[in-house]
Structure 1
Amino acid sequence: MTAVDDKTVVREYFNATGFDRWRRIYGDGEVNKVQLDIRTGHQQTVDTVLSWLQADGNLAQLSVCDAGCGVGSLSIPLAEAGATVFASDISEKMVGEAKERSQATLGQSTNPTFAVQDLETLSGRYHTVICLDVLIHYPQDKAAAMISHLSSLAESRLILSFAPKTLAYSLLKKIGDFFPGPSKATRAYLHREAAVVKILESQGWTVQRNAMTKTSFYFSRLLEVTREKG
C-alpha cells in the first residue's frame, strides 16, 4: 500500500465507521471495556501535555498548532487556558465534531480556529506544534518527512506522541492483527524511539521532557523537544 493509499484510507475511515467509534471513545458516554481503556490512555496523554504547558506559565502568550486535532480534546482546553490555537484534522467529520464541542465549551469564540487539512499541507509558523497519536498512521520512511514538515512550522517547541516499537509491543500488535474487525480499518505503525529522536535531532531539536502512557490497550511515548529561535 502506498503512502497516498494510507492517507486515503485514514481519511475515509475517520469520515465513516471510524468517526462514530472514536467520537464515542473521546466522549464521556458509555463504551465497552476496551474503548474505555483507550479513552483513559488518550486522556492521560492529553493531560500530560496540558500539565507541561501549564507548568511553564506562559500559555496566554503562545500560538499553538494542534496537528491531527481529532474532536478537540487538546485544542479546546488549550484555548480555554488562553493559548491561540490553530487545529486541523484530515477528517471533515472530526473537525465538525470538534467545532461543536468547542462551541459547547467556549461559546462563539473564534479560538480555536479549526480547518480540514492533512499534515502535509499545513503551513504557517507557531511557537509550539503538537501532534498526538497521528504517527501511528505513518510508516517509518514517511514519518521522517512528516516530522520534518512539522518542524518547519514550529518556532520553539514540538511535541509528538507515537507508539514505540519494542519487542513486547510488536508482539502485541501481531496478535491484534489476527483479529480484524469493521472498526479496525487502518494500519498501525510502530516507531523506534531512537529513530524518532534521531530525526528530531537532525532538525535541530533537543529533548526536554518525555513520558510514557501505558494501559492495557493504549501505549504512547510522548516527547517534547525545543530549540532556540533562529
Structure 2
Amino acid sequence: MNLPTFEPLADDALLLRFGEVIDAMHNTRALEASRRLRERDPCWLRDAVPAYASLAVFFDCGRIDDADPHAFVATALRAILQEPETAGVATPRLVEIPVCYDLNMAPDLVEAANELGISPDELIHRHSAANYTVAMIGFAPGFPYLLGLPDSLALPRLATPRTRVPAGSVAIGGNQTGIYPRESPGGWRLLGRTPLVLFDAARASPALLAPGDRVRFQRIDLSAFDRLRKP
C-alpha cells in the first residue's frame, strides 16, 4: 500500500490523507487502512474514522510513553500499513435497501429527470440498477455517503435547501447519492424514500450501514413501503 501523508488533527488525533478529491481509489485506500488498523487494535487506538480520501485516527495519549505522541502513532501506522497481509480479506457486506420512488415521496424526481433529459422511469432504473459502496458516514448519525452513482445522473444540489427532509429520503447531491437517516434540513435532490431505519441508538449496532458496505437499491411500491415501515 502506498503510504498517505500524515497531519496533526488534534492533540489526540492524526489525519492520514490519501488524496484531495472524491475518488473511488482514494476511498478504497482509506477503508483498507481503517480495516488494518482495527484488526491490529493497538492499545492506544480510540477510533478510526474513514472519509472519502482520508482517515482520522484518534488515540489515547495516556497509553503512549513518548514525548511526541503524534510521531509515535505515525511511526506505528506506517509499520501497520506496510505489513503484508496474512489472511484473505473478507467479502464486503451487501445490504439491499428498499426504496419507494412514488411521486409522493420523490418531490424532485420529475424535475431531476427533465434536467437530465430522461424519463422519470429511466432515472429510477439507472439509480436502482447501480452498485454502490458506503464511502463514509457523516453529516448526521448514520448518513451514508455512497460512491457508485452513474455519471449520467450527477445533479447539482438545490439552490435553496429544504428546511425539512423526511427521514429515509434517498437523494442525489452532485455525483453522490445518500440517505437521510432522520428528519433534517438538506439540499440534495429527493428521488424516493426507504422504510428502513438508518440509525437507532437502541440497536447493538446503531447505524444500519458502515463504511465499506456494498449497497443495492430495490424498487418497491407504496403498499410494500407501508408494510415494511417500522411502527
Q: Which TM-score bucket, shorter chain as reference?
A: under 0.3
- The structure that has the greater radius of gyration is 2
- Which structure has greater helix proportion? 1
Q: Using structure 1 for the length normalisation, give the TM-score.
A: 0.27
**What TM-score, normalized to structure 2?**
0.27
Which one has the bigger strand percentage?
Answer: 2
